[in-house]
Structure 1
């Protein structure tokens, strides 16, 4: 990355950073997308089982991924402040922390998984698929967590094209493994949704091996000598990363867990409704990769400018990000509205599931407009290292607005299962409004501080 001096230069650097992130996010999410879609082609029970398993796993993985993403603003600030010599130490401490948290997740999961699944009103076949899917996925957790640290480091340097190429390499491997293990090809048994869990775990290990090799060999990263020295554990550095990462992680956890909670509450409905809900939610989550990519790009660019105390430049990047995100939301809404029947057909061969999925997709149209505002702002605030208030607004928006409203509408109105989606729309909209106000306050405070100096 480099300092920019005009709108044209900022736009160019913004899209150079953004495009690879977008491709990377869509590619990485495509692993879950293909897990869900290909499991649905095996049977509705496999789709429902993977849906339940994902609903338990995604809040944990994304929440902790938020903790690990603290490396991005930390490194961006160091680079912006020309303190490159501190980068390797910060990254290795993040790796240590990721390994510790991976072990904790696996241990806690082994003690609570059966209880969590038994507490749901699931058909026995769906419950068993969900259980085995999560057990298979657990073998890839250490690789996934360490990869998230290394990717955050690489992205913070502005080398988002390289992480894009890594993701593009891993996706065909994941799809091929899904094909072999879900449907039983080349002499392997047909494992259905469980095979999707094995395929994802193997793909995570492939990603981490490629990431380590690139960091050691590529000149953009080798100059930092990340693996060139054995650093002892530094609890103060862990504390610094957790101080930034925990609010980010909880913000993401509150957001993703509400979607997981809705999916679990959907277990009160029949298998077709669960499958249709998950199919529509899966595609809506794919679309969400667009504003999420804007968010990551904003963290990198705003963090770089804030680290150098160029707050007017940071504010300009913020405006470019939000406006561009809204434009993309309009385009994706048109695509979703025009092709929802074809999209629904990707997830099932059963007519009832396809029809229900199309109805859920209509509600997904409204998600993205609020997400197009809220999600980039979250990234902007992380670039300023302002993470506590977004954590509070996420808690209020999703658990005090979205879930109660959704439950009431689902059980005390004619909306039925669709009531949960209306509640989610209300929560996301509340969060967007609260974050917009917070951004206004933070930016004015930073600019005023510089003017006083």
Structure 2
């Protein structure tokens, strides 16, 4: 039988009523998560705008420093997705106390990931940048901000664990509030350090990196205090040392391995576009940074929907409700596609204003505006593919999304972008066209796999009502 967020068994409903119920629940969960994810990107947007208006050249340094940092950050986020999924599954199975064990495992794992990532980025990041043959002194200018970015990885990983745990409990509200408070801190420190106010030296891109460090530390502390002071923290097992559960530990990491690998392939490919742009020139790097930042901000909406989808599908998995997994997934895909189309329709007429928000440099504006037009064409498929991938992981399908992202982003997008941008002479527009092709390819693969699992579960559990069969969810 299906259960609500508190683990209470719900009576069967007719399919039409379930669709409406799931849609309302999706929107309820997705709203705060979207605000939280937007907060993440607004932090990067704040950095880019403050640095860009200080100096277009410093914006190029910031973009090149952020590129390798973003790979490790998003890979860490993927590795920790198991916290979110396992928490939702425990709630769906009516075992809220088990969520405390999920949190504790996640914090330990997150600490290892954060410190390990920081060491790798600080030690190898500068060497990597200098090995790429970048023009216009980009590697030298990006080295200091890259090292500062590395220092914030441990605290950021812990904040991800705490946020994912709250979201898995279907309580994303405070995580969103904390993220926006952290944005206020980030803006204040940016305005102080980037141009160098009150007699401080102007730090440019390095000042923006320090702002990120301060804001992430603030976010982690606020979330940690909130979790410890939750009224039902003891009921949820927050203070109880969990019994050893090797199977649960392996499953939590296994989900993260697949998501982490997917994120690595996808974000590495997007970061690799910085390399292609760097072979063209520093203004192209700055223009790509602006275009990618716009797309990434919009992407936070489907990313928030993907979290809500994972919670719904994960609860249905824990409740052994294959019909619920199917229903939650396709409702989310439809909503996400509509959001992507709407975002494109809004961005197209506003492209000029959006470009000028990043820089007033005429040469950069001539690159950014046409690339934003092309960006409109990949917003919907890119949104759908991330939601579908997360829905697949929540229903126990870990490696198909990873393989799909390997093929689409690592094997197709990179070579295609290079060929269009440099040999074909299309520059930044060629890079964006490659992203369009790859987004449709990835979305098509993942939707097909979700449909195959639907048909498989229908053969195992033919009832249209929730909770009447085991299907794949019993696995």
8 Å contact from structure 1 (residues 96, 233) kept in 2: no
Counterpart CA distance in 1 for 2:339 and 2:121 is 38
Counterpart in the other structure of 1:421: 432
Using the size of structure 1 for normalisation, the TM-score is 0.95
Match of 1:346, SS? helix
After superposition, the Cα gap between the structure-2 partners of 1:63 and 1:151, relative to the gap in structure 1 and judged at 3 Å, is same
The answer to whether the aligner puts 1:209 opposite 2:221 as a matched pair is yes
8 Å contact from structure 1 (residues 154, 221) kept in 2: no
Match of 2:236, SS? coil
Match of 2:134, SS? coil
Alignment deviations for residues 283-326 of structure 1 (CA, whole Å, 9 cap, x no partner): 11111111111111100111111210122122222222111112
Counterpart CA distance in 2 for 1:276 and 1:315 is 41
Alignment deviations for residues 363-409 of structure 1 (CA, whole Å, 9 cap, x no partner): 21111121132121112112202111110011001122211222221
Which residue, 320, 331, 340 being the options, matches 2:342? 331
Counterpart CA distance in 1 for 2:174 and 2:419 is 46
Counterpart in the other structure of 1:13: 25
Alignment deviations for residues 248-300 of structure 1 (CA, whole Å, 9 cap, x no partner): 11111111110101111211112111111111111111111111111111001
Structure 1 residue 213: Cα displacement? 0.8
Counterpart in the other structure of 1:309: 320
Counterpart in the other structure of 1:139: 151
Counterpart CA distance in 1 for 2:259 and 2:107 is 18
Structure 1 residue 113: Cα displacement? 2.1
Counterpart in the other structure of 1:443: 454
Counterpart in the other structure of 2:465: none
Counterpart in the other structure of 1:157: 169
Higher share in helix = 1
8 Å contact from structure 1 (residues 93, 233) kept in 2: no
After superposition, the Cα gap between the structure-2 partners of 1:314 and 1:348, relative to the gap in structure 1 and judged at 3 Å, is same
The answer to whether the aligner puts 1:322 opposite 2:361 as a matched pair is no
Which residue, 69, 74, 79 being the options, matches 2:86? 74
8 Å contact from structure 1 (residues 55, 264) kept in 2: no
Match of 2:422, SS? helix
Structure 1 residue 90: Cα displacement? 2.0
Counterpart in the other structure of 1:353: 364
Number of residue pairs aligned between Structure 1 and Structure 2: 452
The answer to whether the aligner puts 1:36 opposite 2:44 as a matched pair is no
After superposition, the Cα gap between the structure-2 partners of 1:372 and 1:102, relative to the gap in structure 1 and judged at 3 Å, is closer
Structure 1 residue 126: Cα displacement? 3.2
Structure 1 residue 206: Cα displacement? 0.6
Counterpart in the other structure of 1:404: 415
Alignment deviations for residues 221-246 of structure 1 (CA, whole Å, 9 cap, x no partner): 453242x2456997765433221111
Structure 1 residue 128: Cα displacement? 3.1
Using the size of structure 2 for normalisation, the TM-score is 0.91
Counterpart in the other structure of 2:254: 243
Counterpart in the other structure of 2:115: 103
8 Å contact from structure 2 (residues 135, 281) kept in 1: no
Counterpart CA distance in 1 for 2:160 and 2:459 is 35
8 Å contact from structure 1 (residues 326, 373) kept in 2: yes
Structure 1 residue 421: Cα displacement? 1.7
Counterpart CA distance in 1 for 2:244 and 2:217 is 24
Counterpart in the other structure of 1:294: 305
* Structure 1 unaligned residues grouped into runs of 5+: none
Counterpart CA distance in 1 for 2:141 and 2:249 is 37
Q: Which stretch of structure 1 is more off in the superposition, 82-91 or 144-153?
A: 82-91
Counterpart in the other structure of 1:167: 179
After superposition, the Cα gap between the structure-2 partners of 1:363 and 1:301, relative to the gap in structure 1 and judged at 3 Å, is same
Alignment deviations for residues 11-38 of structure 1 (CA, whole Å, 9 cap, x no partner): 2211110100111100111111111121
Counterpart in the other structure of 1:61: 73
- Cα RMSD of the aligned pairs, angstroms, is 1.9
Counterpart CA distance in 2 for 1:179 and 1:218 is 34
Counterpart CA distance in 2 for 1:225 and 1:339 is 49
After superposition, the Cα gap between the structure-2 partners of 1:46 and 1:235, relative to the gap in structure 1 and judged at 3 Å, is farther
8 Å contact from structure 2 (residues 89, 315) kept in 1: yes
Counterpart CA distance in 2 for 1:239 and 1:80 is 19
Counterpart in the other structure of 1:219: 231
* Structure 2 unaligned residues grouped into runs of 5+: 463-468, 471-475
Match of 1:84, SS? coil
